Amino acid sequence: MDQDVLRSYSEPALEVRPEPFPWLNVVLFIATGFSTLVVGTFMMVAWDHHLSAAPGGTFPDVFNHPSELFRGLPFSITIMSILLAHEMGHYLTCRYYGISSSLPYFIPFPSFIGTLGAFIQIRSDFKDRSSLLEVGVAGPIAGFVLSVPILALAFNYCRFGPTESVDGLIHFGEPLIYKILAFLMGVTPPPGEDVYLHPVGFAAWVGLFMTALNLLPIGQLDGGHIAYALFGRFHKRISQLFLLVIFLMGVFLWPGWLVWILLLALLGTRHPPTLNDKVPLGKRQVLLGWLGVVMLVLCFIPAPITIS
């Protein structure tokens, strides 16, 4: 009998440890689902009363009447689905390339959308620039592909109303893809009026905005992965240039960009090399990389939120 066969009988098989149940991921998913549900409930009430961000109206008592929370399901399901699609795009591409990563971690937060988004933790190095680029761009593509048709569908339920002159009224900027879809759908408000999006449409707007944030070519954001894969050593210069642009927009257009720069500084703007940077990108990766650039242009909003 062959010695290798004898050895296989004599040596014990390696023990394969099962993955522990992702309790933290599940708890955070449920908590984020609840926080977005509460926010969605108040959005639906505002929508029903034509309030948008204006003060007044009757808001539900969700603590004494929990059934009111069902009204928030459209917004909650939509935004959770977009976030899940984005992160699963990353996760499944990691699995395809044999890169170790966690399942998505959702972040509940008492904000106007009920969350700070979601992320996955990548535990191993990228083998080359091709895998880096595809993992980086997969999430934004998944989120974009889901957000765009949802926004188009929501335009069918939008309302026109007078442009309010109320102090403290919140206005949300319109990315280029929003303007294109509105034109194609014939959503043009009469003079002196504005578009009031259904909460589902607002969730799609949030998805597009988060896509743009992630596609900024800075540090280890998704856009940073793409920039490093496409331009290699020029990534650092590109990152510094965009940091300057974001800072200037924070000073002159929207102060929220200054907070974003602070978060980026805490996360770091440096991008580590892959295990083999010398492996060239294929045509598919180059095409996907430039697709990421196009999505950034379509989704970016210089002044996402303004207050009158």
pLDDT on residue 158: 85
- Does residue 167 form part of some domain? yes
In a domain, 195, yes or no: yes
The DSSP secondary structure of 223-251, one letter per residue, reads HHHHHHHHHGGGHHHHHHHHHHHHHHHHH
- pLDDT confidence of residue 58: 56
Given this model, what pLDDT does residue 226 score? Answer: 97
What is the reported pLDDT for 168?
Answer: 53
Does residue 261 fall inside a structural domain? no
Does residue 35 contact residue 109 with C-beta atoms inside 8 Å?
yes
Is there a contact between 101 and 121 (Cβ–Cβ < 8 Å)?
yes
Task: Determine, yes or no, domain membership for 61.
Answer: yes
CA–CA distance, 295 with 169 (Å, rounded to integer)? 29
Give pLDDT, residue 56: 42
Instruction: Compute how many other C-beta atoms are within 10 angstroms of the C-beta atom of residue 164.
Output: 14
Domain count, the chain: 1
Q: Is residue 95 part of a domain?
A: yes
In a domain, 247, yes or no: no
Q: Is-contact 139 292, C-beta < 8 A?
A: no
In a domain, 118, yes or no: yes
Instruction: Please give the pLDDT value at position 246.
Output: 94
Q: What is the pLDDT of residue 262?
A: 87
Contact between 206 and 79 (Cβ < 8 Å)? yes
The interaxial angle of helices 222-231 and 235-252, nearest 10 deg, is: 140
* Measured distance CA(199)–CA(205) in Å, rounded: 10
Residue 122 is part of which domain span? 19-215+283-307
Whether 1 is covered by a domain: the verdict is no
The most distant pair of C-alpha atoms in the chain lies apart, rounded to whole Å, by 90
Report CA 247 to chain centroid distance, whole Å: 21
Low-confidence ranges of the chain (pLDDT < 50): 1-10, 13-14, 51-57
Q: Whose CA is closest to 203, among 150, 152, 157? A: 150
Residue 233 has a pLDDT of: 82
- Answer whether 216's CB lies under 8 Å from 208's CB: no
